Amino acid sequence: IKKFAVIGNPIAHSRSPEIHQAFGREMSIRLHYDKILAPLDQFADTVHDFFAQGGSGLNVTVPFKEQAFLLCNHLTERAKAAHAVNTLWMEKDQIHGDNTDGAGLVNALNLLNWPLDNSRILILGAGGATRGVVLPLAQAGALEIVIANRTQSRADSLVADLSPFISQSAQNTSLSTSTLVDLTGHFDIIINATSASLDGSAITLPYTLTFDYAYEMAYGKPSSFIEHAKQKDVPTADGLGMLVGQAAEAFFVWNGVRPSIESAL
Ligand code: ATR
């Protein structure tokens, strides 16, 4: 029986065990999946203990994704682009890290049948949540990605960091930045990757901005972003699909088989 876990602080709210146990049942793979609360100053020790005791794979959540990135001996390209790791495993005494958040979002959008190929995508926010998804969205065929942030300089430095990855493996995608107030024109998909929904604050978008589909990365709480989109009669979805999607991708990285996101949802 394989042992997996998700590590974070706090961790009690995590739904990863339910999701991975559902995947295990579906794929007939026997597994344990625990929640590990790591003390804020003992992330690395807790990871080493888990693998020393025979653990097969770890998911990493807030606030440790960047520490996980720094701990790895080997990183996938998408983990390097994200500068964060949410999926760890050991091979020949070396720690390997991947980031499946962006693939999770792409999986969720595909399941919704929202068009990514040749699309114009607007991402609100320029923090870690945005950094994790830009390269996978570009690789999924986005023609144009605009990153709009309250503080434009932060979006500019994010684009500077990500540009080498885009030139390397998604040359057809153009990346640019904007402030929120200057946004105008039409996008196929708008994605809210700000933390505004988490603290309940509203994001005000210009009246002239239009879009066909609206995705909220957060989940579980009513969000003013979703309300705004609904008032425009635009189809909406929240981040539960992305959560299950990133879990499915991590399950694939560890076990080599792809579980169904739809049945887990
Ligand atoms: P995360 O890792 O979740 O992305 P973060 O790195 O703290 O979190 O980034 C939060 C993002 O949400 C930032 O882009 C932030 O904008 P600023 O860079 O201008 O601070 C954005 N954000 C948070 N609250 C917001 C609000 N009320 N309106 C607009 N943007 C907001």
* 129 labelled ligand-binding: yes
| Closest residue by CA, ligand 1 atom 8 | 127
**Total of domains in the chain:** 2
Q: Pick left, alpha or beta for residue 92 (phi over 0 → left; psi -120 to 50 → alpha; otherwise beta).
A: left
For residue 200 the two structure tokens come to: 């309940």
Instruction: Tell me if 107 is assigned to some domain.
Output: no
The answer to the question of residue 105 being in a domain is no
Mean pLDDT value of segment 187-207: 89
- Please tell me whether residues 161 and 226 are part of one structural domain: yes
215 is in an annotated binding site: yes
pLDDT in tens, 145-178: 999 999 999 999 999 999 999 999 999 999 999 9
Residues 178 and 205 placed together within one structural domain of the fold: yes
* Position in ligand 1 atom list of the atom nearest CA 125: 14
Q: Which of 70, 79, 61, 71 is nearest to 95 (CA)?
A: 71
- Residue 143's pLDDT is 98
**Per-residue confidence (pLDDT) for residue 208, from 0 to 100:** 92
Task: Verify that 96 and 138 share a domain, yes or no.
Answer: no
| Ligand 1 geometric centre to CA of 225 (Å) | 14
Residues 123 and 225 in one domain: yes
CB of 10 within 6 A of ligand 1: the answer is no
CA distance 25 to 164: 40
* CB distance 84 to ligand 1 below 6 Å: no
φ/ψ (deg, to 5) at 175:
-110, 130
Measure the CA–CA gap between 55 and 11, rounded to whole angstroms: 18
Task: State residue 209 phi and psi, 5-degree precision.
Answer: -85, 130
| Domain assignment present for 51 | yes
Question: 96 and 58 share a domain?
Answer: yes
In a shared domain, residues 134 and 172: yes
Q: Are strands 57-60 and 87-91 parallel, antiparallel or unpaired?
A: antiparallel
CATH of the domain at 217: 3.40.50.720
Residue in 2, 3, 35, 65 annotated catalytic: 65
Does any domain span residue 134? yes
Q: What sign results for the dihedral spanned by CA atoms 184, 187, 192, 194?
A: negative
HEC assignment per residue over the chain:
CEEEEEEECCCCCCCHHHHHHHHHHHHCCCEEEEEEECCCCCHHHHHHHHHHCCCCEEEECCCCHHHHHHHCCEECHHHHHHCCCCEEEEECCEEEEECCHHHHHHHHHHHHCCCCCCCEEEEECCCHHHHCCHHHHHHCCCCEEEEEECCHHHHHHHHHHHHHHHHHHCCCCEEEEEECCCCCEEEEEEEECCCHHHHCCCCCCCCCEEEEEEEECCCCCCCHHHHHHHHCCCCEECCHHHHHHHHHHHHHHHHCCCCCHHHHC
Do 98 and 76 meet the contact criterion of CB atoms below 8 Å apart?
yes
Does ligand 1 lie within 6 Å of residue 196's CB atom? yes
Using most ligand atoms within 8 A of CB, pick from 150, 183, 191 the residue to mutate for ligand 1: 150
In this structure, are 10 and 82 located in the same domain?
yes
Q: What is the pLDDT of residue 170?
A: 96
Q: Is residue 106 part of a domain?
A: no
Token pair recorded at residue 48: 């080493």
Q: Write out the residue range of the structural domain in which residue 193 sits.
A: 115-234
In ligand 1, the atom with minimum distance to the C-alpha of 203 is 28
Residues 174 and 259 in one domain: no
Q: Is the peptide bond before 17 cis (omega within 30 degrees of 0)?
A: no
127 marked among binding-site residues? yes
Angstrom CA distances, 94 to 69, 84, 89, 90, 214, stand at: 13, 17, 8, 5, 40
In this structure, are 138 and 219 located in the same domain?
yes
Q: What is the pLDDT of residue 68?
A: 98
Q: Are residues 164 and 189 in the same domain?
A: yes
130 annotated ligand-binding residue: no
Whether 239 is in the pocket of ligand 1, judged by its Cβ within 6 Å, is no
CA-nearest residue, atom 2 of ligand 1: 128
> For residue 52, how far is its CA from the centre of ligand 1 (angstroms)?
37
CB 3 within 8 A of CB 51: no
Q: Which of 123, 159, 190, 194 to mutate to test the pocket of ligand 1 (most atoms within 8 A of CB)?
A: 194
Model confidence over 203-261: pLDDT tens digits?
A: 889 989 999 999 999 988 878 899 989 999 999 999 999 999 999 999 999 999 999 99
Question: Residue 198: inside a domain, yes or no?
Answer: yes
Q: Is 65 a catalytic residue?
A: yes
User: Tens of pLDDT along 51-108?
Assistant: 999 999 999 999 999 999 999 999 999 999 999 999 999 999 999 999 999 999 999 9
**CATH number of the domain where residue 254 is located:** 3.40.50.10860
Answer whether 135's CB lies under 8 Å from 169's CB.
yes
Q: Which residues pair with 242 in a beta bridge?
A: none
